[in-house]
Structures are given as structure tokens and as C-alpha cells.
Structure 1
Amino acid sequence: MSRPRQFDETDAIEGAMIIFWKRGYAGTNMPDLLDAMSLTRGSFYKAFEDKHSVYLRALDHYDDTRMARALNQMADPATGGARERLLSFFLRTEYHAAKPARKVGCFLCNALVEMAPFDEICATRCAEISARLHQALSSVLLEMMPESDPAVIKRKATALQRLYLGSHAMGRMGASFDEWSQMLDEIV
């Protein structure tokens, strides 16, 4: 008879997400991953296949716990006007209290840059999250500019999506996010 798990899987994946977010996939070694997940090597291998599968689970966890919440808040008219919600989305992702540290960027952006070019499974998941981001941006833009041509909305959403992802890549180097309002004014 096998013993029941002695750890909370969600907490372990949260720990994995944080260490991968801070250090990336390649920069995270097994001892650091085990420490972040509060697991022994034996418990890790009994519960999870390998480092790669945990990375994919961490990406899903980021999507479920960070990105989905941010997109839902951006879509919720009860949290403010459309432009205010859009600006809040851009600011929230950089200055949010739940972010593990400064200069870590966005976990999705980091995955797009580090893993997606070489990992088809990661690329597919990143594309799905990015598509939801694009749809949320399109929706808030349509709310802001209801008379606009759908093609214009799509192009502006694409510009905002790329601004979001690119700026977070630059944020890893310490780029400032203090001009979001002005940058959004240029596009919207």
C-alpha cells in the first residue's frame, strides 16, 4: 500500500512557478526546484514526471492564477472604465504585490522567449494564453471605440499585445514602466 502524499500539490506548483519565473527553465537546477517546491527528490519523482512536466504545470498555474485573474479584471466594467481597466492591466502585471521580484518580467513572456521556440508543447500553451490576451485586449478596445472598424480593433489589439509582451521582456533588464499611460495614448 502506498503512502498518501505529504504535501499540497498546488503549493508545490506555486513554488515551482516562482523559481522558474525568477531563474527561467535553464537557470533552475533540480536542488533549487526541490527546495522551492519543499519536496524531497523521492517525493518529486513519485508525484511528477520530470522538470519539464513541472515547468508546463507551472505555466498552466501562472495562466490560472495570474493571467486569468488579470484578464477577468480587465473585462469587468465594475472595476472602472475601459481605459482605466486597460491601464490597470498593464500596471498590475508589473507592480503587482504577488510578483516574486522586480525584473522578472511576465512568466508567459519568459516562456515565449526561452522555451516556446524549442518546445512544441510550451509553444502551443503560450499561443493559447496569448490568444486569450489578444481577445481580452480586443474586447476592451471595442468597448473604448465601439464605432471602429473590426480590422482596426484587431491591429490595435495586436499592437498592445506585442507592447505588453515586449515591454516585459525589457523589464527583465530594468526598463521603466512609468510611461504606460502615454504609450497607451499613442495606440488607443
Structure 2
Amino acid sequence: MARPREFETDAALDSAMSLFWDLGYEEASLARLLKTMKITRGSFYKAFKDKNAVYLATLDRYDRQVVSSTVAFLGNPANGSGRDRILSLLTKIADMAEKDGDRLGCFLCNAMADKAAQGGEIEQRLQAMALRLEAAFQKALEDDLTPSDCESNRAGETARGLLALYFGMRVLGRAGLAGRMARDCVTQAENLIAGFTASGGRVPAAD
């Protein structure tokens, strides 16, 4: 009969994520990971193989917990029009910023800025999450268009602008600045959406 695992995997990954979130990949040494995750070296290697594998597992967990729920919210018509969904998401971030500065920020944003993101499987995971968020913003925008307008539109470029604002707000929160700037970011998002909607999402004709 197999021996029971000596630790609860999800709890250990949450602890590891907190450490990576706070210190970054390089500074989160194996010794610190073992202490934070409260597991033995033997259990660590049996479950995760190495630090890189733990980092990938924390990214996957953040993807399931945060990115997937954000994508689902943006894609659910029950949450209002596409415009309302986008602005509701960004307003929620602004509210957090005004309440406590949003000092925690976004694990995905932190990971993108980390040295660990420079190539390989980690970079691929980060890009995949960012692209899923971009696609969710685009889907929300296109939900407010007529079927004929959806055939040729600039929802992609507008979605990338909204994604940049989303990431920017989370980074500003990490720096303690979002409380002053977050509402301006929401206003810029409103302007982007208004310009997109006013044109019916169409790409401007060439001169």
C-alpha cells in the first residue's frame, strides 16, 4: 500500500507562490522553499523534482484560481454587456487600490518581470495566460457588436490596450501608486471602449 503524502499539496503550493510572489524566482532559495512549504527535502524531490517544477506548478495554480476566473467573468453575459464586464473588472481593481493600495499586485505581472520569465517553459506559460486574458477582453468587446461588425474589426488592438491598462494597474498597486492613478486608468479604458463602440469596431478606412 502506498504511503500517505506527508503534506497537503495545495497548501504547500500556496506557500511557495507567496514566497515567489514576494521574493522572485532567484531569491526564493531551496532552503527557503522547504521552510515556507513546511516539507522535508525528500518529500520535496518526490513531489516536485526541482525548484523550476514548483514554480511552474504555482503558475498553473494561479492560472486556475485567478486567470481562469477573470476570463470566465469577462465572457459571461450574465455579468452585463461587454463594456460593463470590462469596466466592472477594472473598477474592482481600482477599489482595491483605494482601499489598501493593492500592494499584493498580480502574481502573473510579477512573474513576467522576473528573470525566470526569460525563455523556456516558464515564458510559454506566462504568454499563454496573457493571451487568454487578451482574448477574453476581445470577446467582451465583440459581444457588444452586431454579427456583421464582428467580421472585420479592431477588437484585437483595443483588447491589447485594455490588457496593458489591466497589467499597469496591478503593477502600480505593487508600487503603492494605484490609489492615485487607478481611476484615471479606468477612465482611459472607458475612452478606449467608447472609441471602439462608436466606430462599430471597424478598422478606419485608409486615406
Give the corresponding residue for 1:136. Answer: 136
The answer on 1:53 being equivalent to 2:58 is: no
Residue 42 of structure 2 corresponds to residue 42 of structure 1: yes
Separation in structure 1 between the aligned mates of residue 95 and residue 50 of structure 2, nearest angstrom = 32
User: How much does 1:149 deviate?
Assistant: 6.8
Q: Deviations over 1:88-125 (max 9, x none)?
A: 322445767xxxx9423211111111145523111111
Looking at CA atoms only, which structure, 1 or 2, has the larger radius of gyration? Answer: 2
Partner residue, 1:172: 174
Q: Quick one: distance in 1 between partners of 2:143 and 2:95?
A: 25
Aligned to 2:190: 185
- Once the two structures are superposed, residues 73-94 of structure 1 have per-residue CA deviations (whole angstroms, 9 ceiling, x without a partner) of 1211212332221123224457
Query: Unpaired runs of 5+ in structure 1?
Result: none
* Counterpart residue number, 1:33: 33
On the 8 A contact 1:115/1:122 being kept in 2, the answer is: no
Q: Distance in 2 between matches of 1:143 and 1:9?
A: 39
RMSD: 2.4
Partner SS for 1:6: coil
1:10 aligns with 2:10: yes
- Deviation string for 1:150-174 (max 9, x for gaps)? 4411110111112222332333211
Partner of 1:159: 161
SS at structure 1 position matched to 2:154:
helix
Change (3 A) 1:19 1:43: same
After superposing the two structures, state which structure 1 stretch, 11-20 or 114-123, moved more: 114-123
How far 1:34 moved relative to its partner? 2.2
Distance 1:47 1:3, change over 3 A: same
**Deviation, structure 1 residue 56:** 0.9
Q: Contact between 2:109 and 2:171, CA under 8 Å: does it hold in 1? A: yes
* TM-score, with structure 1 as normaliser: 0.84
Once the two structures are aligned, what percentage of the paired residues are identical?
A: 33
Q: TM-score normalised to the size of structure 2?
A: 0.77
